[in-house]
Amino acid sequence: MSVNGVNVKLPFFERYLSLWVILCIIAGVIIGKIFPAGVNFLSKLEISQVNIPVAVLIWLMIYPMMVQIDFSSIVKAGKKPKGLVVTLVVNWLIKPFTMAIFAAIFLKYIFAAFINPALAKEYIAGAILLGAAPCTAMVFVWSYLTKGDPAYTLVQVAVNDLVILVAFIPIVKFLLGVNQITVPYDTLIYSTILFVVIPLAGGYISRVYLLKTKGANWFENVFLKALKPVTILGLLLTLIILFAFQGNIILGNPLHILLIAVPLTIQTYFIFAIGYLWSKKWRLPHNISSPAAMIGASNFFELSVAVAISLFGLKSGAALATVVGVLTEVPIMLSLVNFSNKTRHWFEPEKKIAFEPVKIEKGEPMWEKVLIATDLSKASGEVVDCIAHYGKSFSKEAKLAHIHSVETAGGIKETLENVERPVIEAQVERLKAAGIAASYSFGYGIPFVEINRLIADEGYKLLILGSHGKSMAKEILLGSVSDSIIRNLKIPAFLIKCPPSKLNTCAFGLSGNILFPTDFSDNAKIAFEVLANVASQYKAKVTLYHVQDVNIIFPHLKHKLTEFNIIDKKRLDALKQLLLDRGIKDVATKLETGHPKQAIINEINNNKYNLVVMGTQGRGWIEEVFIGGIAHAVVRKSNSSLLLVPYKK
DSSP character at residue 93: I
pLDDT tens-place string over residues 606-636 = 887 888 898 887 544 334 444 446 777 777 7
Pair 360, 399: CB distance under 8 Å = no
- At the fourth CATH level, the homologous superfamily of domain 509-642 is HUPs (3.40.50.620)
- Is 361-507 the same fold as 51-346? no
CATH assignment of 51-346, among 3.40.50.300, 1.10.3720.10, 1.20.1530.20, 1.10.10.10: 1.20.1530.20
Contact indicator for 644, 486 with CB cutoff of 8 Å: yes
Tens digit of pLDDT for each residue in 196-248? 788 888 888 998 888 888 877 788 778 887 887 787 787 788 778 877 876 76
The residue that leads in pLDDT, 353 or 562, is 562
3-state secondary structure string across 147-197: CCCHHHHHHHHHHHHHHHHHHHHHHHHHHHHHCCCCCCHHHHHHHHHHHHH
Q: Count Cα neighbours of 451 within 13 Å in the Cβ-side half-sphere.
A: 32
Instruction: For the beta carbon of residue 216, count every other beta carbon within 10 angstroms.
Output: 14
Q: Residue 124's beta-bridge partner residues?
A: none
Residues β-bridged to residue 543: 515, 588
**Which residues make Cβ contacts (< 8 Å) with residue 582, sequence separation at least 6?**
357, 532, 535, 536
Residues 454-491 have pLDDT tens digits of: 888 888 888 887 764 443 333 333 335 566 666 667 78
Q: What separation in angstroms does the CA of 63 have from each of 313, 316, 550, 558?
A: 22, 25, 21, 19
Query: For 24-78, how does the pLDDT look when each residue is reduced to its tens digit (9 = 90+)?
Result: 878 888 998 888 888 888 877 877 666 788 778 878 877 877 787 766 655 554 5
Q: How would you classify the pairing of strands 50-51 and 46-47? A: antiparallel
Q: Which residues contact 434 (CB under 8 A, 6 or more apart)?
A: 387, 388, 389, 391, 392
Chain centroid, CA 482 distance in Å = 29
Q: What is the mean pLDDT of the chain?
A: 78
Distances from the Cα of 487 to the Cα of 367, 371, 452, 528, 627, angstroms: 22, 17, 11, 20, 7
pLDDT, residue 361, reads 45
Strand partners, 403: 443
Residue 417 has a pLDDT of 65
The Cα 424–Cα 103 span in angstroms is 79
Q: What is the pLDDT of residue 178?
A: 85
The full set of domain ranges for the chain reads: 51-346, 361-507, 509-642
Helices (H), ranges, 437-560: 447-458, 481-487, 522-538, 550-553
Domain 361-507 CATH class label? alpha beta
Q: Per residue in 269-312, pLDDT tens?
A: 999 999 999 999 998 888 889 988 988 888 887 788 888 888 88
Answer whether 604's CB lies under 8 Å from 633's CB. no
Q: How far apart are the C-alpha atoms of 125 and 321, rounded to whole Å?
A: 8
Cα 225 → chain centroid: 22
- CA–CA distances in Å: residue 369 to residues 308, 362, 365: 70, 18, 9
Q: Which of 85-99, 107-121, 213-227, 506-520 has the lowest mean pLDDT?
A: 506-520
Residue 545, strand partner residues: 517, 590
Provide the CA 555 distance to its chain's centre, in angstroms: 14
Question: Which position has the higher pLDDT, 535 or 489?
Answer: 535
Which residues sit opposite 643 in a β-bridge?
494, 613
Nearest to 170 by CA among 183, 180, 158: 183
176 vs 620 pLDDT, higher one:
176
